[in-house]
Chain A
C-alpha cells in the first residue's frame, strides 16, 4: 500500500495527528503562532472528516477548563496554546494534572512579554515545568504528527493518567513546511485504543469529583502524581517501541543521542534547534572534532539516567537554553547540571543562553559554543552562563 504523504507545516502536522487520534472534544482559543493548528482542526470538524465537538471559548483558562470537564466524563480531549495563553492557563494546568485528566495539549513555544514579542523561545513552557504535566519537545513536522498519537498513549496509560504538553518551537517548527508521512486511520486505531477512564462521572454510579483534602491526606495525592510521572519513563519507552511496530518510526524515548558513542564534547538541545546542531556536529566531525549531540525529548519526566550515563564517557557538555531563569541560569542547564552532580563524573559544563525572543541561532553560533567547550577543556576560565549572539558589547 502506498504511503500517503503531505506537505504541511508543523501546526498542520499536529492537526493531522489529532484527527487520527479521534478526540471527542477540542477546545481552544487562538494565539500566534498556534492559530493554524486550531484553524485546521475547526475545518476538519466543519467538513465532517473529524467527528468532534469544537468548543470555541473566550479564553485559554476556559479552553483547558472545558477539556477537564469533558475528560471527566471519559472524553478524549485536545487543546493548543502558546506563550501568554499558556500562562493564562497556569491555574488550570495544575488543576488538570492534579485531577489526573489525560488531556493532550500542543504548545507553540513563544517568548513572554515584556517587551511584547510573538517570536520563538522556550521560556513559556519551561517556566511551567513544575505544573505536573509531562512535557515533550519535538524537532520536526513528522515528529509533531507522530507524537500526538504517542502523547495520548502515554497520557491515558493507567500507570500515568497525566496530561501531556507537546511543545513545538514557534515559527521555526509551527510554520515551516515539510513532507510528512500520514498514517491511515486504521493504523492509528490499531495503535491507539479508545480512551477508557476508570473515573468516569456517571449518573448511575455517582462520584465525588475534584474534591478537596485536608493536610491529613493531601500529600499522598502529590506523592501519587510524582510516582505517575516517574513511572511514565518506562511507558514512554514502551509506547515508542509499540509505535515503531505499527508505523516503522521511533524516536528513542526520553532522548536521542547523535554521534555520542565516541564523543568528547556533546551539545544538549531541546526542540527544533536540534536539526541545525546535527548539521554542525557533522561538519565538526569532518574537521576532526569528536563532537556529539544529545536531544532531550522529555523535560518531565527528566532523562536523568541518560545524562548520567553520557557523563561517564564525555569530557564536556554544553546546553543550549532558549530560556533563562533571570539571576541564575537556563532551566535546562539547571536540570542537566543536577543530573551531572549526581553522577560525580566531573564533566565540564557550560550553559549557552541563545535565541531569546526569536533571535536566530546559526550554525556559526553553535560552532562558537563548541569552541567555548574546547577552550574550557584547555583550562581557559569562562563564565558558566554565556549569552550567545548578543549584538552589542556587554
Chain B
C-alpha cells in the first residue's frame, strides 16, 4: 500500500530544442503530464490532519491522481500544480477531513 501511494519521482521537463528530441508519434516512456493546468481551479481542497483517519479513499477517487502520501508517510498531500479543484475528494471523505476553500482566500 505504501509504495502505491508514494509519489513517483518528478523529473524536470526539459523542453526539446531539436525536432529529433521528440518521440516519433505520441508514445513515450514514462511520459508524464508536463503542462501545469490548475489555473482554472476556483476552490482548493485542504486536508485537515486532525480529522484525517488515513483511509486513503480520496486517493482512490481523485480523477487526476494528485493525492499522495507525504515522504514520511505521516499525512496526505495534494499536488496543487495539477489539482483542478473538482471537489470529489472533499465530497467522498467520510471524516469530513477535506475542506474546499475559495482560491481568492489564498
From A205, A207, A224, give the contact of B24 (CB < 8 A).
A224
Is there contact, CB below 8 Å, between A211 and B26?
yes
Is there contact, CB below 8 Å, between A209 and B30?
no
From B16, B19, B24, B31, give the contact of A208 (CB < 8 A).
B31
CB interface residues, B 1-60, toward A, < 8 Å: 15-16, 19, 22-32, 35
- Closest chain-A Cβ to B26's Cβ sits at a distance in Å of 5
- Closest chain-B Cβ to A45's Cβ sits at a distance in Å of 29
Is there contact, CB below 8 Å, between B35 and A207?
no
From B15, B16, B27, give the contact of A207 (CB < 8 A).
B27
- Closest chain-B Cβ to A212's Cβ sits at a distance in Å of 8
From A98, A198, A214, A223, give the contact of B26 (CB < 8 A).
A98
CB interface residues, A 214-242, toward B, < 8 Å: 214, 216-217, 220-221, 223-224, 227-228
Report if A210 contacts B (CB, 8 A).
yes
Q: Which residues of B contact A206 (CB under 8 A)?
A: 29-30
Select the residue from A224, A227, A228 with max chain B CB neighbours within 10 A. Answer: A224
Q: How far is the CA of A210 from the CA of B25 in the complex (A)?
A: 8
Report if A100 contacts B (CB, 8 A).
yes
Is there contact, CB below 8 Å, between B25 and A98?
yes
Select the residue from A211, A213, A228 with max chain B CB neighbours within 10 A. Answer: A211
Known A207-B31, A208-B31; judge A213-B19 contact (CB<8 A).
no
Report if A161 contacts B (CB, 8 A).
yes
Q: Which residues of A contact B35 (CB under 8 A)?
A: 214, 216
Is there contact, CB below 8 Å, between A207 and B22?
no
Is there contact, CB below 8 Å, between B24 and A198?
yes
Q: How far is the CA of A207 from the CA of B27 in the complex (A)?
A: 7
Known A214-B35, A216-B35; judge A221-B29 contact (CB<8 A).
no
Chain B interface residue count: which class? 10 to 19
Q: Which residues of B contact A205 (CB under 8 A)?
A: 29
Q: Which single residue of chain A is at the shortest CB-CB distance from B27? A: A199
Q: Which residues of A contact B29 (CB under 8 A)?
A: 205-208
Q: Which residues of B contact A228 (CB under 8 A)?
A: 24
Q: Which single residue of chain A is at the shortest CB-CB distance from B21? A: A220
Report if A99 contacts B (CB, 8 A).
yes
Q: How far is the CA of A207 from the CA of B31 in the complex (A)?
A: 7
Q: Which residues of B contact A199 (CB under 8 A)?
A: 23-25, 27
- Closest chain-A Cβ to B31's Cβ sits at a distance in Å of 4
- Closest chain-A Cβ to B91's Cβ sits at a distance in Å of 27
Q: Which residues of B contact A213 (CB under 8 A)?
A: 26
Q: Which single residue of chain A is at the shortest CB-CB distance from B22? A: A220
Q: Which residues of A contact B25 (CB under 8 A)?
A: 98-100, 161, 199, 221, 224
Q: Which residues of A contact B22 (CB under 8 A)?
A: 217, 220-221, 224
CB interface residues, A 181-214, toward B, < 8 Å: 198-199, 205-214
Q: How far is the CA of A227 from the CA of B18 in the complex (A)?
A: 14
Is there contact, CB below 8 Å, between B27 and A209?
yes
Q: Which residues of B contact A100 (CB under 8 A)?
A: 24-25, 27
- Closest chain-A Cβ to B37's Cβ sits at a distance in Å of 8
From B27, B30, B32, give the contact of A210 (CB < 8 A).
B27
Q: How far is the CA of A207 from the CA of B30 in the complex (A)?
A: 5
- Closest chain-A Cβ to B15's Cβ sits at a distance in Å of 8
Q: Which single residue of chain B is at the shortest CB-CB distance from A158? A: B24
Q: How far is the CA of A209 from the CA of B68 in the complex (A)?
A: 24
Q: How far is the CA of A214 from the CA of B13 in the complex (A)?
A: 14
Q: Which residues of B contact A207 (CB under 8 A)?
A: 27-31
Q: Which single residue of chain A is at the shortest CB-CB distance from B25? A: A100
- Closest chain-B Cβ to A220's Cβ sits at a distance in Å of 5
Q: Which single residue of chain B is at the shortest CB-CB distance from A199? A: B27
Q: Which single residue of chain A is at the shortest CB-CB distance from B23? A: A199
CB interface residues, B 45-90, toward A, < 8 Å: none
From B15, B19, B24, B31, give the contact of A211 (CB < 8 A).
B31
Q: Which residues of B contact A214 (CB under 8 A)?
A: 35
Q: How far is the CA of A224 from the CA of B26 in the complex (A)?
A: 11
Q: Which single residue of chain A is at the shortest CB-CB distance from B15? A: A216
CB interface residues, A 89-145, toward B, < 8 Å: 98-100
Known: A100-B24, A161-B24, A208-B30. 8 other contacts (CB 8 A): A99-B25, A199-B23, A206-B30, A217-B22, A220-B19, A221-B22, A224-B22, A224-B24
A-B contacts, 11 listed (Cβ < 8 Å): A99-B26, A99-B27, A100-B27, A199-B25, A208-B30, A212-B26, A216-B35, A220-B19, A221-B25, A221-B26, A224-B25
Task: Give the B-binding residues of A (Cβ under 8 A).
Answer: 72, 98-100, 161, 198-199, 205-214, 216-217, 220-221, 223-224, 227-228
Q: Which 8 A-B pairs have the closest CB atoms?
A: A100-B25, A208-B31, A199-B27, A214-B35, A211-B26, A209-B27, A207-B29, A220-B22
